[in-house]
Amino acid sequence: MIWRKKSPEPPAEAPAPVVVPPAALTIDALGRKCPIPIIMLAERVGEVPVGAVISVLADDPAAFTDIPAWCRLKSHQHVESYELPQGGWAIHVRRQY
Amino acid sequence: MAYLDAASTEPLHPAAREALLAALDVGWADPARLYGSARRARLLLDQARAEIAEVLGARPDELSFTTSGTQAVHLGVLGALQGRRRAGRHLVVSAVEHSSVLHAAGVHEGAGGSVQTVGVALSGRVDLPAFAGAVAAEGVAAAALQTANHEVGTLQPVAEAAEACRAAGVPLVVDAAQSAGRLPIPPGWSVLAASAHKWGGPAGVGVLAVRKGTRWRSPYPEDERELRRVPGYENVPAVVAAAAALRARAAESAAENARLSALVDRIRAEVPRRVPDVEVIGDPVDRLPHLVTFSCLYVDGEALLTELDKAGFAVSSGSSCTASTLRPSHVLEAMGVLTHGNVRVSLPRGIPEDDVDRFLTVLPDIVRRVRQRLGVQ
């Protein structure tokens, strides 16, 4: 048994369906291991206007921690991470500059 | 090979090697028996116990030897919970404890107990007000906090947490594996666990100390060995060697800590200067003298470790691709820091300064090559 912080695990009780708000750009990194999802994000962050939101779809548990950490290091904004019904997350990032 | 992984295991101290060889000859008999060779083994065992107790700030009769630091932690946590069964079934731990603490907590949960995990700051330091609040709640049987984090080196506010525990009447289990023999043990523990091979002793010796007046009950079947706290035949020669290493380390620590800490400061300053997109992790000041961790953006940890190994450097990593579980380190996750491209450098006693300089020289090119392979400019 491995003991982890709770957030990356799916919630025990069935949650109300999460409505993921629209994003200016969606990057599909499902099935890709870190650091690939972050490399894809870094490559494409310039494609949206400043203030717009990029949605990174990822299911590598490292991405759940690493994309918000990347935002902190690069002074972009981590908006929210939404659980996907099929597993993984839609991790929303706002371009700040 | 430059060995930069002292946090995994410290090479055997020369004083320990010498003591081990001598004790293999004279300390092999059963210390529980009454003939001459047995009494000699008993004497050696009790002398080692007194010496280790003195360095760790315990009484000799509070201290038992286990077969590992992990066993000491398991016995410490589960024994404290068992001893306080009537007071409650709730355990409070920090989110960045060693896996041995969290796995013991998992056993407690599996047996119907409850566990509360207290979060940490970006530095890895536990949220002290939250920890104090958690131990003050109804039904708390025990709490656990490490002296220093094994992955990022950040020191924990153990004395303050112990004060909160004392006020709440809750025993605090302190995992001192990473700091024992390097730094003084902070006051206030009820149960203390440590591991000899982390301070330059041999493998197979852990230390469990239970403060007088602490309710503690072994979760194991009864056994008369080690003041009835640890089952099984004592490894007297290894314990003697562990004591010799600890004594030597304690005598050296002031000078060697300052030297290692200055080398860590150099790594902390030079890595981000020489390698772009790096995050140095952990508290820059309130930290272990010999340990530093950093994460490189756009790099996979496994490739980095492999390249560093090829270049002759032994380091470890908390990145998911280097773990058997394929999960990132729970410590890095709890801190909210970058988990990929992670490197932990921990300096053994006596490491030549030149090893650190060569590491700083080869690192930038290795990171650049790994990034290039992943298509990052």
Q: Which two tokens stand for residue B296?
A: 């490189």
Q: Identify the CA nearest to B145 among candidates B79, B211, B208, B96.
A: B96
Domain total of chain B: 2
CATH class for the region spanning A25-94: alpha beta
Closest-CA residue of B relative to A60 is: B327
B161 and B237 housed in the same domain: yes
Sign of CA dihedral A71, A69, B317, B291: positive
**Domain end point (choices B202, B219, B248):** B248
- Chain A positions touching B279 (Cβ under 8 A) are 69, 73
| CATH number where B120 lies | 3.40.640.10
B218 and B257 housed in the same domain: no
**Domain end point (choices B231, B248, B265):** B248
Instruction: Tell if the CB–CB gap between A2 and B338 is shorter than 8 Å.
Output: no
Neighbours of B254 (CB within 10 A): 8
Instruction: Tell if the CB–CB gap between B103 and A1 is shorter than 8 Å.
Output: yes
B165 noted as active-site residue: no
Q: Which residues contact A49 (CB under 8 A, 6 or more apart)?
A: A24, A95
Q: Which two tokens stand for residue B59?
A: 């009484």
B199 and B288 housed in the same domain: no
Cβ atoms of B356 and B267 closer than 8 Å: yes
Closest-CA residue of B relative to A36 is: B298
B234 and B281 housed in the same domain: no
B101 and B235 housed in the same domain: yes
B292 and B151 housed in the same domain: no
B194 and B329 housed in the same domain: no
Give me the residue label for tokens 């004591």.
B243
* Beta-sheet pairing, B291-296 with B342-346: antiparallel
Instruction: Tell if the CB–CB gap between B337 and A62 is shorter than 8 Å.
Output: no
B50 and B182 housed in the same domain: yes
Q: Which residues contact B166 (CB under 8 A, 6 or more apart)?
A: B188
Q: What was the ipTM of the complex prediction?
A: 0.90
pLDDT in tens, A31-88: 999 899 999 999 999 999 999 999 999 999 999 999 999 999 999 999 999 999 999 9
B215 and B345 housed in the same domain: no
pLDDT tens for chain B, residues 1 to 377: 999 999 999 999 999 999 999 999 999 999 999 999 999 999 999 999 999 999 999 999 999 999 999 999 999 999 999 999 999 999 999 999 999 999 999 999 999 999 999 999 999 999 999 999 999 999 999 999 999 999 999 999 999 999 999 999 999 999 999 999 999 999 999 999 999 999 999 999 999 999 999 999 999 999 999 999 999 999 999 999 999 999 999 999 999 999 999 999 999 999 999 999 999 999 999 999 999 999 999 999 999 999 999 999 999 998 877 777 778 899 999 999 999 999 999 999 999 999 999 999 999 999 999 999 999 87
Instruction: Return the CA Rg of chain A.
Output: 13
List the domain range (segments joined by +) for residue B266.
2-6+253-373
